[in-house]
Amino acid sequence: MALAYEKYLQEVLIDEATLQSRIAQLGAQINLDYAGCSDLLLLCVLKGGVMFLSDLSRHIHVPHVIDFMAASSYGTGARTSTGSVRIDMDMRMDVKDKHVLVVEDIIDSGYTLAFVLKTLRNREPASLKLCALLNKQSRREVDIVVDYIGFDIENKFVFGYGLDLDERFRNLRFVAVAKTDALADE
Ligand code: IMP
Ligand code: MG
């Protein structure tokens, strides 16, 4: 029987083994960069960052806490971002004087992250860095410094491993490119 996601699948872009080995590398780099740090806070941007956070966090041996924030852009369709971003759910912890590492699934236009970073910066963390699993550099509309990038990808709509196709298929163990005709159909 065909699995539900298969009709939307153009191709598997990043398979599970490739994802996991790159995430282990990112974790190793973060361990070096934050060695000795006693107040590291990983901030996951929901919902897309959740799979990445849970795998990345288990490679980080520097003691750390985790927290979550949900942000969304509004004004256009679900698959494109605009300059209007809001915080749907704020984090619980205080970031003041903490070393904050934001963990995000994908950076597209950059509007969401620009807003999240500005919000956090106003709260005076000791440092603020950004780790994104996927980066669509060609789509960028606002300048953002990304300290850790898992994979640079082309401008294609992807889903799986935290990323959704109309809220579904976040549970897939790989990142897939969606068929453009399947997207247009709905
Ligand atoms: P930005 O504000 O344009 O950078 O958009 C970032 C957000 O849009 C991400 O956090 C995702 O939630 C969503 N997004 C952007 N591109 C994709 C994609 O290819 N698949 C799924 N979600 C995406
Ligand atoms: Mg996201």
Q: How many CB atoms lie within 10 A of CB 60?
A: 18
Q: Which atom of ligand 1 is nearest to the CA of 108?
A: 4
Which of 81, 111, 156 is the best mutation target for the ligand 1 pocket, counting ligand atoms within 8 Å of the beta carbon and taking the most?
Answer: 81
* pTM for the model: 0.94
pLDDT at 84: 87
Mean pLDDT on 84-109: 96
Of residues 67, 108, 166, 181, which has the active-site annotation?
Answer: 108
Count of H-run helices and E-run strands, the chain? 4, 9
Instruction: Indicate whether 75 pLDDT > 70.
Output: no
Q: What is the pLDDT of residue 78?
A: 56
pLDDT at residue number 180: 84
Residue 161: pLDDT band (50, 70, 90) is: very high
Q: What whole-number distance in Å separates Cα of residue 86 and Cα of residue 73?
A: 6
Question: Is there a contact between 103 and 45 (Cβ–Cβ < 8 Å)?
Answer: yes
CA distances to 50, 83, 102 from 67, in Å? 11, 25, 10
Residue 79 CB neighbour total at 10 angstroms: 12
Pick 186 or 123 by higher pLDDT: 123
How does pLDDT run across 145-159, given as a tens digit for each residue? 999 999 999 999 999
Residue 181 has a pLDDT of: 75
Instruction: Find out whether the beta carbon of 135 lies less than 6 Å from any atom of ligand 1.
Output: no
Residue 166 appears among annotated catalytic residues = no
pLDDT at 67 exceeding the cut of 70: yes
CB atoms within 10 A of CB 75: 10
Cβ contacts of 174 within 8 Å, gap of 6 or more: 12, 13, 14, 15, 16, 19, 160, 161
pLDDT at 79 over 70: no
pLDDT at 77 over 60: no
Please determine, for residue 23, whether its predicted confidence score (pLDDT) is greater than 90: yes
What letter would DSSP give residue 80? S
Residue 184 pLDDT? 64
How far apart (Å, rounded) are the C-alpha atoms in residues 163 and 13?
13
In this structure, the residue with its CA closest to atom 3 of ligand 1 is 109
Find, among 181, 185, 160, the residue nearest to 4 by Cα. 160
- Looking at residue 82, its pLDDT comes to 62
- Length of the chain measured in residues: 186
Q: What is the average pLDDT across 121-131? A: 98
Q: How far is the CA of 78 from the centre of ligand 1 (A)?
A: 9
Q: Looking at the predicted structure, is the pLDDT value of residue 97 above 70?
A: yes
